[in-house]
A and B are shown apart, each in its own frame.
Chain A
Amino acid sequence: MTQHDSPFDLLARDDEDHRWAFGTGFTDPLAGVDTAVPEGVDAKALAAYCLMLGDDALIFSHRLQQWITNLPELEEETAVANIALDLLGQARMLLARAAGADPSLAPPVLAYPQEDRLAFFRTESQFKNVRLAEWADGDFAELVARLLIFASWRLALFERLRDTADPVLAAIAAKGVHELTYHRDYAAGWVVRLGEGTELSHERMQRAVVALWPFVDELFIDHQAELVAPSGVRGEVDAVLDTVFELAALDRPQVAALGAVAGRRGRDGAHTEAMGYVLAELQSVARANPEATW
């Protein structure tokens, strides 16, 4: 009989039972990828930008996950779950890239991989997502309107990032383009269906677009760390949104943009009240039980 110091040795052994708990062996999503930052690329700027894009995806994904079991049809459950999963996958790679390029970003909670330290152990002001990502959807119309705006904008950025100097970020973007295309088309399909549907669905779709419009301008404000200037994609995104609004018989809202707080917006770590609730749910288990594994 083989001797073991601890019964857990048996669990850790790589044998026929290595599937004993699927998902426990979560690995670095960039494991086996050459992650050296190429010469001529500013590692700090690269990390700061990956953090922004990663936070957008992480927080948006969490808001979509909150919809699961509450959607109107089974088909929408699977669609929204899959979109949330795509964004979570993008978040994992981007946060791992950010921490790899600038290890000082990740809080020193050594028991955790760097991507988890970024997700679970940063405070609200350290999150750099746009405020659109944290919005709590009041109904399905808000969900699809928010996804349409977010996916159209992110797709336009990722199209350009395919040519960025860092090969890892370029590869993440190239993969993301295919995913975001499906997300945008899914959301656009629903915006048109509801906008062109009944009197009530039209009214609620229009109301949703108006409610979200204050968050749109922030998406296109340039920030020093960005490798693709968001102001440069506004025309392309506007054209997509205008096409959808026309098909959906919706009016493009004329409402003021959400203001800055002492000059700071989401990218500077200034968030809306909604953000605290997202982080409480996202982080409480990891913070209460820092040794927990799952």
Chain B
Amino acid sequence: MRPGAWEVAAAVPDPELPIVTVSDLGILREVAQDGGSVTATITPTYSGCPALAEITAELRHRLVAAGYLEVEILTRLSPPWTSDWITAEGRRKLAAAGLAPPQAARRHSGSVPLTLLAARPAVSCPRCGSARTARTAEFSGTACKALYRCDDCLEPFEYVKEH
């Protein structure tokens, strides 16, 4: 008896943020199972994200290892991924790992207004909960995170950007 294809696919960790899975992040959109064949659909996050090739390989690997003979991984570009798709469980895991989860994404159908300072409301410190934090860099180790510092507990932390 094979485990369910969704459960297998959903357990694949994100290569950059292994504390959360591809389903927590909303990257895994759909898993269709027909007997021994599976079609999994994913939506990439950032255009140049190098994790995508790794995620595709890992999905295929785990599904094959679970006994599915035919595995197809489809990429869906539209609608584009948004951080709003990160689940409540995913947000809880991020915060528990010291990463501030994203605020609601700003959506613009027309032209995007220029924002210079105070682009987003205060981000709370994932360690002490203080709202007295300051952004130190809009880009951190990866494109999807910004770097912050807490002015109360003085610890630096990363914020997963709204996108």
Contact = CB atoms under 8 A, between A and B. Distances in A.
A90 interface: yes
A240 B108 CA distance: 16
B122 interface: no
B103 interface: no
A85 B73 contact: no
Interface residues of A, number: 53
Nearest to A172: B77
A90 B47 contact: yes
A83 interface: yes
Interface stretch (A30-38, A223-231, A259-267, A269-277): A30-38
B28 to A, nearest CB: 13
Contact of B141 (A30, A78, A182): A78
Contacts, number: 120
A171 B78 contact: yes
B52 to A, nearest CB: 8
A89 B111 contact: no
A100 interface: no
B115 A185 contact: yes
Tier of interface size on chain B: 35 or more
Contact of B48 (A31, A87, A170): A87
Nearest to A181: B112
Interface stretch (A20-28, A201-209, A281-289): A20-28
B138 interface: yes
Contacts of A88: 48
A170 B80 CA distance: 10
Contact of A156 (B44, B64, B75, B111): B111
B18 interface: no
Contacts of B116: 185, 188-189, 192, 244, 247
- B interface, over-half SS: loop
Given A159-B112, A175-B80, A83 B139 contact: yes
- A interface, over-half SS: helix
B138 A244 contact: no
A82 B140 CA distance: 9
A140 interface: no
A14 B60 contact: yes
Given A14-B64, A185-B119, A174 B80 contact: yes
B114 interface: yes
Contact of A159 (B50, B60, B73, B110): B110
A89 B49 contact: yes
A118 interface: no
Interface string A61-85: 0000000000000010011011101
Interface in B65-102: 72-81
B147 interface: yes
Interface of B: 44, 46-50, 53-54, 56-57, 60-61, 64, 72-81, 108, 110-112, 114-117, 119, 136-143, 147, 161, 163
8 contacts: A32-B73, A174-B78, A175-B80, A181-B112, A184-B114, A185-B138, A244-B114, A247-B116
